[in-house]
A and B are shown apart, each in its own frame.
Chain A
Amino acid sequence: MKNIKFLIFGIAFGIILTKAEVISWFRIQEMFRFQSFHMYGIIGSAVVIGIISIFLLKKFNVLATNGEKLNFPIKPYNKGVIFGGVLFGLGWALTGACPGPIFALIGNGYSVFIVIMVFAVFGAWVYGLLQEKLPH
């Protein structure tokens, strides 16, 4: 089954998020209060490794293992990025969790985060409902 590898990558990501304590509400508070380097170190070093990796993949024209050309992430700018981004930021500071950590916390036994996940899905659904009426 070709999706098993994504399950395995997900498991690795869940372990890393937990071991890094990125899933902790306290770490997110510490970050937004500029009282520790921890989260900045994680995000900063992740981006540096990501930039170097993509640079090298492009430079050496690396193909995917299935032979396809790589689909590098394209994220065009529109106003929705600002409006949605600020709204997400408000929610990130409230819940202390972006989407990845919500899933990792559920796995860690913080069952009440199922409620947060359900409301996140509901939020995504309401966005879908209103999409054409919202400024982008």
Chain B
Amino acid sequence: MIELIKEPWPWYITGPLIGLMVPLLLVFGNKAFGVSSSLRHICAMCVPLDIKYFKYDWKSEKWNLFFVGGVVIGGFLSGQVLMDSEKVQISMETVNDLKALGVTDFASYVPKDLFSWENLLSWNGFIFMALGGFLVGFGTRYANGCTSGHSISGLSNLQFGSLIATISFFIGGLIMTHFLLPYLF
């Protein structure tokens, strides 16, 4: 049993568990499942200046900051207690595609040749981490939600905006992966 828990969990276990976050948060907290609004709350808490978008009672949204704090702790616990190996068994095709691009490190969740403190000051490290992070924050707020808020939560309530958002996320991801990524190595 312990061995089973320490292995990666299959999609048909984890997917439904993620789906259950939606009714659980609704019933026990009356909150809509979502992560990216936390970025807005952090701005409103730290540097609201005189910007209208940050003039609201962020303290009434504190639950969301507790939630993302929990996600950090959950990541820590799984890394420390619940995981044997951080090597991800991705498909051979993907490995070959990424090797052809120049990725060499496949030992953990992310390729260290891109995501490391040392690589931060190189031009492509800056693009992957700084520009990438910027686009995640800017884009999710512009779209009013991320994968959690739109693709899981919004789609669960059959929201048209969330369907368009999810399609748009994929269009952006496909453009980056297939047309832009080859120039970033």
Number of A-B contacts defined by CB within 8 Å: 512
B1 interfacial by beta-carbon distance below 8 Å:
no
Say whether chain A's binding surface is mostly helix, strand, loop, or mixed: helix
Interfacial chain A residues near B39, Cβ < 8 Å: 99, 120-121, 123-124
Contact A119-B159, Cβ < 8 Å, known A30-B90, A35-B91, A131-B53: no
Report A1-54 residues with CB < 8 Å from chain B CB. Answer: 3-33, 35-39, 41-51, 53-54
Contact A99-B36, Cβ < 8 Å, known A30-B94, A85-B143, A85-B172: yes
Say whether chain B's binding surface is mostly helix, strand, loop, or mixed: helix
**A26: shortest Cβ distance to chain B, in Å?**
5
**A74: shortest Cβ distance to chain B, in Å?**
7
**A77: shortest Cβ distance to chain B, in Å?**
4
Q: Are B144 and A11 in contact (CB-based, < 8 A)?
A: no
Q: How far is the CA of A92 from the CA of B181 in the complex (A)?
A: 12
Interfacial chain B residues near A127, Cβ < 8 Å: 53, 137-138, 141-142
Q: Are A94 and B128 in contact (CB-based, < 8 A)?
A: yes
Q: Are B54 and A128 in contact (CB-based, < 8 A)?
A: yes
**A43: shortest Cβ distance to chain B, in Å?**
6
Give the bracket for the number of chain B residues in contact with chain A.
35 or more
Q: Are A125 and B43 in contact (CB-based, < 8 A)?
A: yes
Q: How far is the CA of A96 from the CA of B112 in the complex (A)?
A: 13
Q: How far is the CA of A131 from the CA of B96 in the complex (A)?
A: 41
Give 13 A-B pairs besides A10-B68, A14-B77, A84-B165 with Cβ atoms closer than 8 angstroms.
Answer: A10-B74, A11-B71, A43-B147, A48-B16, A68-B30, A71-B26, A73-B33, A81-B161, A92-B169, A100-B68, A125-B43, A127-B53, A128-B51
